[in-house]
Structure 1
């Protein structure tokens, strides 16, 4: 940890108990670095924060797609009946079914939906996987582009090759600088420098060039359907309606990306990584950087990241402190 790293400090009894280092980059509409803390060149995996870019082939190939279906293709959804209904509608457009999804299976993130499956003695299906909308969108993108649906999750598939190219193009880096791993849902997980990830979100905030219509469609779908992007009580769903013209997308291991269209400094892209993957630090960093960029932070927003820690009996037992020493320029 260096002197310029951001930190989220959880204290108990006045003593620091846990410290989460934070790396963050802010990029303006022209793609220039505006501010950072920690290592803006850190090569890291946005994980599900890549979903708005992964949905671009779908938006390009089917510009008339309803916004809710494009939103679910960008989502890490909670598996509620509302989410599943949109995924099924998107699957039907490509003549696909849940059996064609290669994301795997896990219980719904939403506790009510998970409990209902247990009550009915039913097992989760691939539809309940938080990435099923992304996979349904990928299957439809394959059909629209004349690519095979078989093997759509593999690195060498034309869809995944195109998605990697889009990360490089929008991130302003060479293709070789977009490194590859495999995500939890089996599609390629792409790693790139943090400032390049911020640039992806800056392009969402201020679309330009040949990709502008598709970028605008993704931005509008995310901001118009925040519930579909995540679900009840989850950060993307609760934060976006509170900040005008904000498209936000969380990724696993405490990555976060934000496309902020209306800031005092104009459209901005923001990306940060909590180094140890401590996801509890994420809302605290999100609010701190928005405030540093001139966004008014309301009481409703502060409730997403309380500064006081309470135990199960309701007693105050500690605090959460955020240090975000932004270096400008």
Structure 2
């Protein structure tokens, strides 16, 4: 079931300087309700694109299904693109230990912590980052535990032929309401398969996350409910201090939000005038500075109150480092309602 409304005029975020347009970011949006019906779109809802880390709530489902008693903070870190703070690392280490795994078993690679204070602390101590500091280490720790609990080998857990990755691809197709052939496979920055599917499919995934009991039967509904509950109960673990996911979920009741690289974004909204909704959008050129502007514009368009605290995440007036006003950011989202 797709229910696309077809392609139309794309949205855009325009940054100006001195009254002159300086950059323009095209935006594609899909909105799906709890009945899996696409209710709004902007641009091309059929656009096949990579959700990247916005897939993490789905990638954590095999773990949620296999470990129904897993503490919420550990399930949250399995959905996270964390910032490498001490709090993040402690939860990842606890999750990793559950499968009898160590840092050496993580196949995500290594990068410095996203959190500036955590990165500076490593430098002060003269230490190098490890795979534990990688923003995807929680996802990988969760994948290792899912393998152990399902009787799958830990070896090769990042490879597409592995039973875990095959199951994750099936879940994207099932939850997104698309055929398996419509879920294309690449390789993500952390070496697991990156799955591309139509934008309306990912909106449908987030709609199911917003209202699992209304759209699913069997064990998937309670598993998705646990994922939603973990994300919304532990927003600081999903991203980190000052980052968009954490701030939005802290300020908007009933919202589970997850960013993906190259300016993808997914939102599961439980409390809107139209009922539960799933939103997926892609800033086509990967311009991530446009993402918070689109996220706030979508919340407003869907009837979610946007407070001054929320507006501060994406100010219309742009300032330079000396505090001088230098330009504006304008959002245009010509949503087509079904």
TM-score, normalising length from structure 1?
Answer: 0.99
Q: Does 1:192 align with 2:197?
A: yes
Residue matched to 1:254: 263
Deviations 1:1-52 (A, max 9, x none): x971100000011111000000000000011101000000000000000000
Residue matched to 1:112: 117
Between the aligned partners of 1:242 and 1:124, the Cα distance in structure 2 is: 32
Give the SS at the match of 2:281. Answer: strand
Residue matched to 2:88: 83
Residue matched to 1:206: 211
Between the aligned partners of 2:136 and 2:104, the Cα distance in structure 1 is: 14
Residue matched to 2:273: 264
> Which residue of 300, 312, 337 maps to 1:328?
337
Give the SS at the match of 2:207. Answer: helix
Structure 1 segments of 4+ aligned residues over 2 angstroms from their partners:
none
Residue matched to 1:127: 132
> Which residue of 215, 218, 225 maps to 2:227?
218
Residue matched to 1:298: 307
Superposed, which structure 2 residues align to 1:271-310 within 5 Å? 271-310=280-319
Between the aligned partners of 1:54 and 1:311, the Cα distance in structure 2 is: 39
Residue matched to 2:99: 94
Give the SS at the match of 1:95. Answer: coil
Residue matched to 1:45: 50
Give the SS at the match of 2:110. Answer: coil
Q: Does 1:16 align with 2:21?
A: yes
Unaligned runs of 5+ in 2: 1-6
| Count of aligned residue pairs for this structure pair | 328
Q: Does 1:229 align with 2:238?
A: yes
Give the SS at the match of 1:203. Answer: helix
CA apart distance, 1:224: 0.1
Between the aligned partners of 1:96 and 1:251, the Cα distance in structure 2 is: 27
Deviations 1:251-304 (A, max 9, x none): 000000000011100000000000000000000000001100000100000000
> Which residue of 138, 141, 148 maps to 2:146?
141
> Which residue of 48, 68, 88 maps to 2:73?
68
Residue matched to 2:169: 164
CA apart distance, 1:241: 1.4
Unaligned runs of 5+ in 1: none
Residue matched to 2:3: none
Between the aligned partners of 1:221 and 1:84, the Cα distance in structure 2 is: 17
CA apart distance, 1:139: 0.1
Cα RMSD after superposing both structures: 0.7
Residue matched to 2:4: none
* Contact 2:106–2:140 (8 Å) recurs in 1: yes
Between the aligned partners of 1:184 and 1:152, the Cα distance in structure 2 is: 15
Give the SS at the match of 2:273. Answer: coil
Residue matched to 1:4: 9
Between the aligned partners of 2:227 and 2:287, the Cα distance in structure 1 is: 28
TM-score, normalising length from structure 2?
Answer: 0.96
Between the aligned partners of 2:122 and 2:164, the Cα distance in structure 1 is: 33
Between the aligned partners of 1:313 and 1:300, the Cα distance in structure 2 is: 22
